[in-house]
Structure 1
Amino acid sequence: MPESLHNTGVFAAAGSAYGTDLLARTASVVQAAGAALRERFGAVVRHRTRDELMRALAANDDAALEILRPGLALLRPDARWVEEELEGGALPSGEWWVVDPAEGNVNHLHALPEWAVTATLVRDNQPVLTAVHLPLTGETYTALAGAGAHLDGRPLRVSRTTDLGLSLVATSQARPDEDEKVVRRVGSSITAMLLDALVVRTSVPATLHLLNVAAGRIDAFWQFAGARADLLPGALLVAEAGGRISDAKGRPWTPQSESLLATAPGVHAAAVATLSR
């Protein structure tokens, strides 16, 4: 794990029970669930009411969960399951599967390509391993705490950028019905970044932005609020790719934090300064 992250208190080195074999098997389960969602992808799914939208979202979730639940249960039979993918905060002690069966589900329904399937094993609130599969490209991003981050087996590294003014940065809204105070904070942060960074991207889901930070394509990502399933996979990937993880004020990040900032090390201080204005 990068030295710059040793003081966050979030990411622990993986023990022998959480090795590459378990990660590979987790990735296989996630890929199978992604294949089921890919079969459902195509035309825009029309909805006239909020209830119709929620039913369509749930149908996608259920199709993936039919594969994820039994598959992951076989891998860690004693690990518990996070039932609500939009929940945040700390988990009780022990092992948990934190899963998003259709990360970017609303994009899937609108025939947009930005969606994925994720599964993260968390032990005593420490992310141990994660697998994120993008069914339309066939790409699978994986990370094992203490053992690096990879894209289809190739190591990932964050960018070497040191100038926020030359940086591509991104953010994402936490949820459609976010508290007005958070919404206004998001808006002011985008304005601040528009003044200080080169280009600002704003879209959902958060995980895909974090993948891009880990791969060195984007130099910084931030989000206010957010669910565990949105942030834990990408946070572990960025950390294992050599990035910096904190809250928006530069303090150690935990799932209870009110914000997340994930950056290339060279722009972390400047991003904190911008978001702290």
Structure 2
Amino acid sequence: MIPIEDNNALLAEVACAVQWAGQTLLTRFRTIPPPTTLAELLGGIEANDAAVEAGLRDALLAAVPGSQWAADEEEEGPLPDGDWWVVDPAEGNVNHLHGRPGWAVTATLVRDGEPMLVVVDVPLTGDTYTAVVGRGAFLNGKPIKVSAKRELSAAIIASGQASPGEPEVVRMAMIKSAAKLLDAALLVRLSVPSTVELIDVATGKLDAFWQHGSVRAGLIGGALLVREAGGRVVNLTGERWTAASADFLAGPATLEPALLAVLS
């Protein structure tokens, strides 16, 4: 296997592929009217994915010989051992189709269940976020750090749906958690997609992010960014988060005890 920790060329190759996809989606942005029906929305999502997915897949599989492609971006749970690409070719597709910001292209290399390398490109701002395990997290090549916030009462906390049509138990957990945090935190917001929120956690613009449900593609790359930016990523019982976890919390260590006291 390629030693990820020392491979600057691999990071550059992945960034090139992800940025190509981002620019391709940018040429499609606001070129058609927003969808007016669910069928139009689903068709637009499929068209955006189709515009970039094959090119991304070919480039990334070639970058790491023997790697495999995790085809279902809505899938939950851990991956088998080996090298896998977890990619969302148009994360925040619904925002893109409605002419709104809040969309990106993400690619994460997962090795034996652990995220090793991630690139997130945000075409509307021209920003690229990268992290390699053990080497820190970066925005356009400059190091980033999570918030230094120490009081939950002064914190901005975010969450969102892992996917549409969540089971009732997940919906009720979201409602109860948000209600508790509305009393405990300064501000609470709900938004999608998860990775766009997690890059704000990694840069300290947002203090923390929690989620019930665990769609792998929306969390695993952001988890690596937050950890490499000096943050903590755990489940709601305080154990280290993995793709097998049922829920998710990311933020600075200074806020973790207070957040877990509310959310657990």
- Classify the TM-score, shorter chain: over 0.9
- The answer on 1:204 being equivalent to 2:192 is yes
Q: Partner of 1:260 in structure 2?
A: 248
Q: Partner of 2:27 in structure 1?
A: 39
Amino acid at match of 2:180: A
Change in Cα spacing, 1:262 to 1:17, as seen in structure 2 (3 Å) is closer
In structure 2, C-alpha distance between the alignment counterparts of 1:81 and 1:16, rounded to whole Å: 17
Q: Partner of 1:112 in structure 2?
A: 100
In structure 2, C-alpha distance between the alignment counterparts of 1:51 and 1:165, rounded to whole Å: 42
SS at match of 1:85: coil
- The answer on 1:93 being equivalent to 2:81 is yes
In the TM superposition, what is the alpha-carbon distance from 1:49 to its structure 2 partner?
Answer: 3.7
- With 58-67 and 33-42 compared, the bigger mean Cα shift is at 58-67
- The answer on 1:215 being equivalent to 2:195 is no
Q: Partner of 1:178 in structure 2?
A: 166
Change in Cα spacing, 1:17 to 1:202, as seen in structure 2 (3 Å) is closer
Q: Partner of 2:156 in structure 1?
A: 168
In the TM superposition, what is the alpha-carbon distance from 1:177 to its structure 2 partner?
Answer: 1.0
The runs of 4+ residues in structure 1 deviating greater than 6 Å are: none
Q: Partner of 1:123 in structure 2?
A: 111
Query: Which whole-Å deviations, capped at 9, do the CAs of 1:150-185 have from their partners, x for residues lacking one?
Result: 000000111111100000111011111111110111
> Given that residues 18 and 129 in structure 1 are in contact (C-alpha distance below 8 angstroms), is that contact kept between their aligned partners in structure 2?
no
Instruction: Specify which structure has the bigger relative contact order, considering alpha-carbon pairs within 8 angstroms and separated by 6 or more residues.
Output: 1
- The answer on 1:22 being equivalent to 2:10 is yes
Change in Cα spacing, 1:187 to 1:268, as seen in structure 2 (3 Å) is same
Change in Cα spacing, 1:149 to 1:39, as seen in structure 2 (3 Å) is same
SS at match of 1:47: coil
Amino acid at match of 2:164: P
- The answer on 1:61 being equivalent to 2:85 is no
Q: Partner of 1:6 in structure 2?
A: none
- The answer on 1:81 being equivalent to 2:69 is yes
TM-score (norm 2): 0.96
CA RMSD of aligned residues (A): 1.4
Change in Cα spacing, 1:65 to 1:124, as seen in structure 2 (3 Å) is same
Change in Cα spacing, 1:84 to 1:154, as seen in structure 2 (3 Å) is same
Q: Partner of 1:9 in structure 2?
A: none
Question: Aligned residue pairs: how many?
Answer: 263
Q: Partner of 1:243 in structure 2?
A: 231
In the TM superposition, what is the alpha-carbon distance from 1:17 to its structure 2 partner?
Answer: 6.4
- With 104-113 and 49-58 compared, the bigger mean Cα shift is at 49-58
> Given that residues 88 and 255 in structure 1 are in contact (C-alpha distance below 8 angstroms), is that contact kept between their aligned partners in structure 2?
yes
In structure 2, C-alpha distance between the alignment counterparts of 1:139 and 1:16, rounded to whole Å: 23
Gaps of 5+ in 2: none
In structure 1, C-alpha distance between the alignment counterparts of 2:89 and 2:6, rounded to whole Å: 22
Query: Which whole-Å deviations, capped at 9, do the CAs of 1:10-57 have from their partners, x for residues lacking one?
Result: xxxx93565222111101100000000000001564434433321110
In structure 2, C-alpha distance between the alignment counterparts of 1:18 and 1:44, rounded to whole Å: 43
Q: Partner of 2:135 in structure 1?
A: 147
Q: Partner of 1:11 in structure 2?
A: none
In structure 1, C-alpha distance between the alignment counterparts of 2:208 and 2:180, rounded to whole Å: 14
> Given that residues 34 and 99 in structure 2 are in contact (C-alpha distance below 8 angstroms), is that contact kept between their aligned partners in structure 1?
no
Amino acid at match of 2:130: T
Gaps of 5+ in 1: 1-13
TM-score (norm 1): 0.92
In structure 2, C-alpha distance between the alignment counterparts of 1:181 and 1:18, rounded to whole Å: 43
